[in-house]
Amino acid sequence: MSSTDVVFYKGTFTKSNGSDRTMYFVRSKDLPNTFIESNTTNSGRKRNLSEGLETVWDLENQGWRTFNWTTAYEDVRVFTGSTEILNKFAASNVE
């Protein structure tokens, strides 16, 4: 994997309201630091998430969302792509 590549995921989980959500996302640990810096407000507030919840970058909605690993079902698929997907993503180009 080159420095211009990023690992991203496709997963489905059950939301707290009972509906299902399928999301293409990048885990914070897989994002370039420059991307995180330019897409956060630096409020200094640390999110206190319950166990199994993780803040991720939603590729389709271009924003921070929460992925629920506890209610995830089926296999979470892993992909590698160019960092260009962080700003321009199309699910139709993945599978």
The pLDDT assigned to 36 comes to 82
For residue 79, report the phi and psi dihedrals to the nearest 5 degrees.
Answer: -130, 165
| pLDDT the model gives residue 68 | 96
Q: What local confidence, expressed as pLDDT, does residue 72 receive? A: 97
- Condensed to tens digits (0 to 9), the pLDDT of residues 3-33 reads 689 999 999 999 999 999 999 999 999 999 8
Confidence of residue 2 (pLDDT cuts 50, 70, 90): low
Q: Locate 30 and state its tokens.
A: 């897989």
3-21 CB burial, b ≥16 within 10 A, e <16: eeebebbbbebeeeeeeeb
The model's pLDDT over 60-90, given as tens digits with 9 standing for 90+, comes to 999 999 999 999 998 999 999 999 999 889 8
Q: What is the largest CA-CA distance in the chain?
A: 39
Residues 21/58, Cβ–Cβ less than 8 Å:
no
